[in-house]
Chains A and B, each alone.
Chain A
Amino acid sequence: MDREKARRRVGHESIETRHLRERGELFQALKSLDRRSFMKVSAAAFGAAAAQGLLPPHSFQPVSVAHAASPTGTPDTPKFTFAYISDSHLYDRNLNDRFVNQLMRAVDDINAMDPQPDFVLYGGDLAQLGKPVELELGAQILKNIKAPRRMMVGEHDWYFDMGEKWRELFGEPRYSFDHKGVHFVVLNSVIEKDFWTERKMTALERMMTVAGLDNGIQSRFTVGDEQREWLKKDLEKVGKDVPLIVFSHSPLYKLYKAWNFWTDDAEQVQAILGKYKDVTVIHGHTHQLLTNRIGNISFHGMLSTAWPWPYAPEGMPKLTIQMGRPDPFNPHDGIGDGSVQVHADGLVDKIYNLWNRNPVTVTRQYLASNGAKDKPAAPLLASY
């Protein structure tokens, strides 16, 4: 009704005009202050702007803002940034080219980042039904990424041929590497117990079963005994105060079993990770803004480039600011890509680059304060 009233007031500045004017004034003011007063004055105003997601993460970031203050008022240049693309669910090009175009848009987005990210993580579910033609198409598109690329596997990539094609294209699905003082681990978290041999399923039937929701036939995702042992061993050589960033396709906690927003041996994995000082888990699979913290472990979901999932009816982590119901008439709403800014202390700011909305940043201060500080702005409309 307020909009209506605004429309009725002739010559009245529109909400949008006012918003742009205020933002312009803020940035103008920030520019003209000397450094000391800048720190003092900008903290509050800047925090408000950041909380509204008004600081775009990509090349369009105004130069005067790029090295500005964080909400806590300290200089806040990340040590490094990496980007992500996830959950593209490609079909054969003859069946669906919308998802193809959306993945290509994400690649364009990441290639437009200035400065370029140190690397790009692909978060899994490149294919819809794990078929060679789908994975090959995806591999071809991902070759257009300018920055170095890291791959993670999802269940949609795996259960047609049990990862044969994926490994041929991208190598082993679990590995670790060190980058600028951070230890990174990439897991295959979508290992299921054999439910198919006994039922005499074909490869496609097996794949379709795993791809389904709300079915009791498939088992739950796990990291598995063997991989947990590997993880323990991998981490033995890593100092306890070295920041850890773990990539898993499924969230490494238990959110909603019926949709497999779930990792069955999550507690055991958390126990291994819990010994380290700063741990961040970045996961795909859930296609939505999702934030959680368990002990010292922060969890962030990734956006899909294909479609947004609704939120689970139960088990939602309390730190999650839900992204609000995507517009059913806009196929680009609720999807996108994003980036992660890794800071000197090893903690991260997670940026959701929603294509149809302002970007949302979930800061390390928000997680460290258990939601007390620096809360991301909630969308105007509720989730359901």
Chain B
Amino acid sequence: MPFQQQESQLTPWLASAATVTVPQGVSPAYWGIVVPEGNPGNGAQVALGRKLYFEPRLSKDHSVACATCHDVSRGFNDHRGRAEGVGDQIGHRNAPTTLNAAFYSTQFWDGRAPTLEDQAKLPITNPIEMGMPNGDAAVAAIADDPEYKKGFQDAYGRAPNFDDLGRAIASFERTLIFLSSPFDRFAQGDANAISADARAGWALFNGRARCGGCHQMSSSNPIGTDNRFHNIGVSARHQDFEQLANKGLQALAQGKSRESIDRLAIETDLSELGRFVVTEDRADIGAFKTSQVRNVGVTAPYMHDGSLPTLWDVIDHYNKGGEANPYLDGGIEPLNLTEAEVDQLVAFLFSLTDDRLAAQNEGEKARQGALAKTQRPFRDTALASRKVFPFEARLQGGK
């Protein structure tokens, strides 16, 4: 959607959120940890960040802004499998939503940025995202604009610079807190705020479906992530991890700057190594950050590579115990969920969408539901019910 239309769609949603403030239902103590000391996010800072979020001049050919891949009208992501940057170049990772991103302990699918401030700057200089040669070039593209001169002066008391640009965008993103969903009203005691199916799904989520092991939902963890990194086998479908890991180490030996790791993650097959590229720890091979479950109904497609088109596919993936590979997380195992239970879990997940996105959510529910009726490529009941064991095929070598 054109940026101007996105902005007008956003305006009513953020009417009361012109500054970074404690969101409703979040403990102030916890929020104090979320917001860094040096960047409180006052009105001027948030306003500057919002302007920058929609600013295509931050890209090489003035075609891409944050809002290109984190589109307000598309659940603050892009509804593409893998994100598209300048010159129609496609990266290797799915663009995660910017909604509630403030709550993550680390940013990006592999946690390579410790803060939102840090994260906001990297896509600008990544060659296939926004393609600026460096931060100074991005600043130069807007520094002469009187509105920005004033904006940076008001926000940080100095001329435009790259670090403040990251701070401002981060502050704006800290106002994108979307935690007011039917599920929240249910959690507050309104039993009928969500459907019977969704209630059954919530029980499964915490029980037999084992979701809550990593996607814990609590008042101190409102978005449902353990902020850890797990190999659930998504990239095992098409990778030889061992070979790839050795290739990764060779590449890292050439240099381990933030920028070079960023490029490995976005531009090469090594993207599939996930967290390993950051830590070089074998335990992290093919491991990606536990994604939030908030607003998951409007952020399709799913997983770090956007390879699962619907929430039914997501549950199918977990139901069969992920994709077998040597580094599969120990907590992933076949779940033997029935079709009715899969539907209940999906119903629960759609109840986690903020009321402001209710229309989008209904549309997605219908679209994904129709798609799931025609195709369920990741469903494997033989694996899910342990009639077939993935290790048996691998064992043949020993026969």
A: which residues have CB within 8 A of B?
Answer: 4, 6-12, 14, 16-17, 20-21, 24, 56, 58-60, 62, 93-94, 97-98, 100-102, 104-105, 108-109, 112, 140-144, 329-332, 355-358
CB-defined interface of B114-141 with A at 8 Å, one 1/0 digit per residue? 1101100000000000000000000000
Q: Which of A21, A60, A93, A143 contacts B280 (CB 8 A)?
A: A60
Known: A105-B327, A330-B330. A8 touches B37 (CB 8 A): yes
- For residue B256, CB closer than 8 A to chain A, the reply is yes
Known: A7-B115, A60-B280, A108-B242. A102 touches B36 (CB 8 A): no
- For residue B311, CB closer than 8 A to chain A, the reply is no
**Contact between B394 and A10 (Cβ–Cβ < 8 Å)?**
no
- For residue B331, CB closer than 8 A to chain A, the reply is yes
Q: Which 7 residue pairs across A and B have the least CB separation, nearest first? A: A331-B330, A143-B398, A14-B114, A8-B37, A10-B38, A332-B330, A108-B326
Q: 20 A-B contacts, Cβ less than 8 Å apart?
A: A7-B36, A9-B37, A10-B37, A10-B115, A11-B38, A11-B118, A11-B166, A16-B114, A21-B256, A56-B282, A58-B282, A93-B389, A93-B391, A97-B391, A109-B282, A109-B326, A140-B395, A330-B330, A332-B329, A358-B281
Contacts of B328 in A (CB 8 A): 101
CB distance from B60 to the nearest CB of A (A): 24
How far apart are the CA atoms of A245 and B207 in the complex, in Å?
A: 48
B: which residues have CB within 8 A of A?
Answer: 33, 36-39, 105, 114-115, 117-118, 163, 166-167, 213, 226, 242, 245-246, 249, 253, 256, 258, 278-283, 324, 326-331, 333, 386, 389, 391-392, 394-395, 397-399
Contacts of B329 in A (CB 8 A): 330, 332
Contacts of B163 in A (CB 8 A): 11
Q: Which A residue's beta carbon lies closest to that of B389?
A: A97
Q: Which B residue's beta carbon lies closest to that of A21?
A: B256
Q: Which of A8, A101, A104, A357 contacts B283 (CB 8 A)?
A: A357
**Contact between B324 and A101 (Cβ–Cβ < 8 Å)?**
yes
**Contact between B283 and A332 (Cβ–Cβ < 8 Å)?**
yes
Q: Which of A11, A20, A56 contacts B117 (CB 8 A)?
A: A11
Q: Which A residue's beta carbon lies closest to that of B280?
A: A60
Q: Provide the main secondary structure of the chain A interface.
A: loop
Contacts of A59 in B (CB 8 A): 246
Contacts of A104 in B (CB 8 A): 326, 391, 394-395
CB distance from B289 to the nearest CB of A (A): 14
Q: Which of B226, B256, B391 contacts A24 (CB 8 A)?
A: B256
**Contact between A144 and B36 (Cβ–Cβ < 8 Å)?**
no
